[in-house]
Amino acid sequence: MLNRRHILTAATISGAAAMFPWGRMIDPPKAKPVHEAPPEAPAGPAELWPEDEELARSAPFAHAMPIPPVLRPTSVTASSELYQLRMAETQVEIVKGLQTTVYSYGGCFPGPTIRALRGREVVVQQTNALDVSTSVHLHGGNVPSRYDGLPMALIDPGESREYRYPNNQVAASLWYHDHAHGKEAENVYRGLHGAYLLSDPHESSLPLPNGEFDIPLLFRDARIEADGTLRYVSPYECPHMLVNGKERPHFAVAARKYRLRVYNVAPNRHISLRFADGAHFIQIASDGGLLAAPVPRDELTLAGAERAEIVVDFSRYAIGSSVVLENTAALESERPEVLRFDITRKADDPSRVPGVLATLPPVPKGMVEREFFMQTFPDTRINGRKYDPDRVDVETTLGTSEIWTIHNWPNRKPAGVFHAPHSFHVHLVQFRLLDRDGRPPGPAEAGLKDTIPIYPGETVRIAMTWGDYSGEYVYHCHHLVHSSHGQMGRIDVLPADPEEQAEPEKPAAPKQPAAPKQPASPQQPATPKKSGK
């Protein structure tokens, strides 16, 4: 039987299926027995690795985990900060003793953190010094269309482009990453991703851990060859787990509370994190910002591009001790440990987690309903179609509230665990989860979201209101191999006043007529349905 744990493991396979011909499924590496070892005596580098002579072996916890540097503005005005970033190849040490060439923003892997304030505009001038085209998307950002990083709005090699982010939304852990269509999965895998931390007066007034005790953690997988090469392959062949750009690092903490901003920036897999000793922590935020109230957790599962903020109290541990964070969704051939926290000192701790964190906006009441079928076999599509930038799949109007019903379409009987989940992302808006297979969301999924996992055979309903900008946007699976292969659609948001015109990203393309409606079947998913207002 396909249970939730198997489904999570299957997420590591979804990229494999999309990268290779469907009739040529690859077999997983043979599992080796797991050898548990305490932090002070980690398993040797030859244990628990796929049988692959070309793979770099690395002992866990060989690296100290870095914190991505905060980017400094090149100039400041009364209302904005100006930043400059250059995308280029950079040499870094991911596995101890090996030099690896990656793509980087500003010479950093992952990219430098941008800290922003609500109501103050951030302007980023991006220059592409790579030999591939790029496009920069602020994931979760409420951004005008021409600055959204559309899949076809490319920065070609040698060119520059300016992005303006108004920051007119509540505090949240956003991130920026590549979105060049057909290249986004590989570009993100090679390093084009970084954290964007937006704060506001309300969040800043809360007594949460801050300053040096507020840490972004960017998790992803990789395959590093024995010569240091970062090779772009199926997630089945990516046993190296990176945190902030280092392979299974360690991090020194004080015996007090920390706010950890957890990102899944892996292009093609889920992660599921828990402390090896089963310790509880408190979730305080999801993709779009603070939850209404704190949620106690002992495990955190994130699909590709999802984020969560947690507060961990390390004062429960003795000075000189350690605790390991594990990925319970790791393949059996992979190491489960991903990060070791070493409790090295005492520190004052005036922080606390209040019982009320935020007042969430009302859940939108749908004026329009639409239906989407996410198809995996024989290839990745939405409603039977692959992405066409000249075809409008959804046309809506500013201020319109909609309910979307999204199915992970079981159009072929799952072969083992190969029928993977999807990670559904909508640009421009934060949405609310209404239900999952008819069940209301738990408290951890009840906040503002921009990305939602949908498991095989599952149906979710989400609600959103379109604003504040008109123009062209997209929705897609954020298993980026799926979107690279066309699992994406175009949204045109029209002005509420017909006399207003959005500034186009490029000359408007002729709209294609909607496909004729057909009954749902394993061969032909239904097209979206739209009801009158």
The reply to whether 270 falls in a domain is yes
The reply to whether 245 falls in a domain is yes
Predicted local distance difference test score (pLDDT) of residue 195:
98
pTM of the complete model: 0.87
State whether residue 222 is helix, strand or coil.
strand
Predicted local distance difference test score (pLDDT) of residue 7:
42
Predicted local distance difference test score (pLDDT) of residue 226:
96
Predicted local distance difference test score (pLDDT) of residue 501:
56
10-24, 234-248, 442-456, 502-516: lowest mean pLDDT where? Answer: 10-24
- What are the residue ranges of helices labelled H in 135-190? 184-189
State whether residue 443 is helix, strand or coil.
helix
**Res. 527: pLDDT tops 80:** no
pLDDT band with cut points at 50, 70 and 90 for residue 131: very high
Q: Are strands 322-327 and 289-297 parallel, antiparallel or unpaired?
A: unpaired
pLDDT band with cut points at 50, 70 and 90 for residue 5: very low
30-44, 100-114, 462-476: lowest mean pLDDT where? Answer: 30-44
Predicted local distance difference test score (pLDDT) of residue 452:
98
* Distance (Å, whole) CA 180 – CA 132: 9
CB of 283 within 8 A of CB of 308? yes
Predicted local distance difference test score (pLDDT) of residue 161:
98
The reply to whether 450 falls in a domain is no
Q: What is the pLDDT of residues 75-111, one digit of tens each?
A: 999 999 999 999 999 999 999 999 999 999 999 999 9
Place of tokens 């828990």: 274
| Mean pLDDT computed over 221-248 | 95
CATH code of 303's domain = 2.60.40.420
Predicted local distance difference test score (pLDDT) of residue 50:
76
The reply to whether 382 falls in a domain is no
35-49, 215-229, 331-345: lowest mean pLDDT where? Answer: 35-49
The reply to whether 21 falls in a domain is yes
Quote the radius of gyration of the chain (alpha carbons, Å): 22
Strand blocks (E) in 298-347: 300-302, 307-313, 322-327, 337-345
The reply to whether 275 falls in a domain is yes
* Distance (Å, whole) CA 504 – CA 220: 35
Q: What is the pLDDT of residues 403-430, one digit of tens each?
A: 999 999 765 554 434 347 899 999 999 9
Q: Which domain holds residue 212?
A: 4-64+208-345
**Res. 15: pLDDT tops 90:** no
Q: How far is CA 87 from the centre of its chain?
A: 20
**Res. 212: pLDDT tops 80:** yes
String of DSSP letters for 249-262? -EEEEESSEEEEEE
Predicted local distance difference test score (pLDDT) of residue 359:
97
Predicted local distance difference test score (pLDDT) of residue 500:
61
The reply to whether 56 falls in a domain is yes
The reply to whether 370 falls in a domain is no
Structural domain total, the chain: 1
* Order of all β-strands in the sheet with 368-375: 381-382, 368-375, 401-408, 459-465, 432-436
String of DSSP letters for 21-60? -TT-PPPPPPP-------TTSPPPTTSS--S-TTBPP--T
| % of the chain residues with pLDDT over 70 | 82
Q: What is the pLDDT of residues 132-173, one digit of tens each?
A: 999 999 999 999 999 999 999 999 999 999 999 999 999 999
